[in-house]
Amino acid sequence: MQRLLFPPLKAVVGSPCLRLLIPGAAPRTQCGCSCGIRRPLRPGQYSTISEVALQPGRGTVSHPSKAAERVVGRWLLVCSGTVAGAVILGGVTRLTESGLSMVDWHLIKGMKPPTSQEEWEAEFQKYQQFPEFKILNHDMTLAEFKFIWYMEYSHRMWGRLVGLAYILPAVYFWRKGWLTHGLKGRVLALCGLVCFQGLLGWYMVKSGLEEKPDSHDIPRVSQYRLAAHLGSALVLYCASLWTSLSLLLPQHKLPETRQLLRLRRFAHGTAGLVFLTALSGAFVAGLDAGLVYNSFPKMGESWIPEDLFTFSPLLRNVFENPTTVQFDHRILGITSVAAITALYFLSRRIPLPRRTKIAAVTLLALAYTQVGLGISTLLMYVPTPLAATHQSGSLAVLSVALWLMNELRRVPK
């Protein structure tokens, strides 16, 4: 019975049917079935599992090399830099009130600026038909119009450059096989967000070109659309920067302690708070709320101004009341600095790598610099150079917060 259930190993190995599974071996005897007959095979056909497994490129998934990952990481780092440049240039365009100077949008035709006097006159006449000229700039000269037109033109051309910086290398890297499966989906999302960003920019501009007979306010773009435009740009920037840092910086193998988990969660919350503070700046810019109360730490003569909740319903004040918008931006800024300070002291309690410590110290220094810039901008009635520096500082703080988050990320098992 034992020999029936467990035949000798030699008998099993010597079986003609099993020897077909061993490459290079031929059956010694015929077993009376088709498995013992060696038939000629067509090209590309394999008779054994071993032969298939031994073929190069079959049964394995190719992964990009480390050098290819570094190239892709540097590309996304450059892309995030171009997005940062677009955000800064857009802020300067808003500060100089140049965003409504170009009253139409064409992807290809809009790339050619006016070259002759007749073309400039025609462009100026188109601008004169819209509310900003009629209400705010009715005494503007052609030379002054050229300045604001070139500001908006440079912002739009930079946006086209951002699109090319994403899409063309993405196609090349895709064809070269340098993108992993997960990275392909992320790159597709980034390229789609770039295209959406351009359409959202024109949708924002259109809100400032519309006639509003019931409004006595100066023409400006919708603060909601401005916040959406800035928010999508910040998402694009953060996603690109995070992906590039993940590809370029070697990951630390930190012990998964309770203190590290708490620090990681606090870093995520702090970065989210910094993002929200930067986004609230869009409402400040859209409503010119920086010109409402130019004093600090009090707002006028009181800590809480009387016109904080004058709009009805109450929720409108958060997004449409300039006083409330400036108050919220102050509170968010102070809370962000407090959170970054607490994050720094929490990081000192844990033994961290040198690069992680540098990120924490840099974040703390930039946060307090940003507060100083914000207060100076407010007290000096929002001068354009200082306000543009303050806007750029928010990107710097957000960048280092992402860097610190990346330093603390969990090592995949």
pLDDT in tens, 74-119: 999 999 999 999 999 999 999 999 999 999 988 888 899 999 999 9
pLDDT band at 215 (very low <50, low <70, confident <90, very high): low
The rounded radius of gyration (Å) of the Cα atoms in the chain is 31
pLDDT at res. 23: 40
Neighbouring C-beta atoms of residue 359, cutoff 10 Å: 23
pLDDT over 70 percentage in the chain = 84
Domain residue limits, the chain: 64-248, 252-412
pLDDT at res. 62: 58
**211 contacts 371 by C-beta, under 8 angstroms:** no
Closest CA to 265 of 149, 346, 184: 346
Separation CA 222–CA 99 (nearest Å) = 12
Neighbouring C-beta atoms of residue 1, cutoff 10 Å: 5
pLDDT over 90 percentage in the chain = 76
Residue 44 backbone dihedrals phi, psi, to 5 degrees = 85, -5
Separation CA 197–CA 232 (nearest Å) = 7
Q: If you average pLDDT over residues 232-258, what whole number do you get?
A: 94
Within 8 A by CB and 6+ apart from 292, the residues are: 322, 323, 326
pLDDT reading at 40 higher than 90: no
pLDDT, one tens digit per residue, over 268-313 is: 999 999 999 999 999 999 999 999 999 999 999 999 999 999 999 9
pLDDT, one tens digit per residue, over 121-165 is: 999 999 999 999 999 999 999 999 999 999 999 999 999 999 999
pLDDT at res. 36: 43
pLDDT at res. 411: 64
Separation CA 348–CA 332 (nearest Å) = 25
Alpha-helical segments (H) within 14-65: 16-19, 49-54
The SS3 call for residue 299 is strand
- Single pTM value for the model: 0.83
pLDDT band at 4 (very low <50, low <70, confident <90, very high): very low
pLDDT at res. 192: 96
**278 contacts 398 by C-beta, under 8 angstroms:** yes
For residue 170 the two structure tokens come to 């993405």
Q: If you average pLDDT over residues 202-218, what whole number do you get?
A: 84
Separation CA 311–CA 191 (nearest Å) = 40
Mean pLDDT across the chain:
86
pLDDT at res. 52: 37
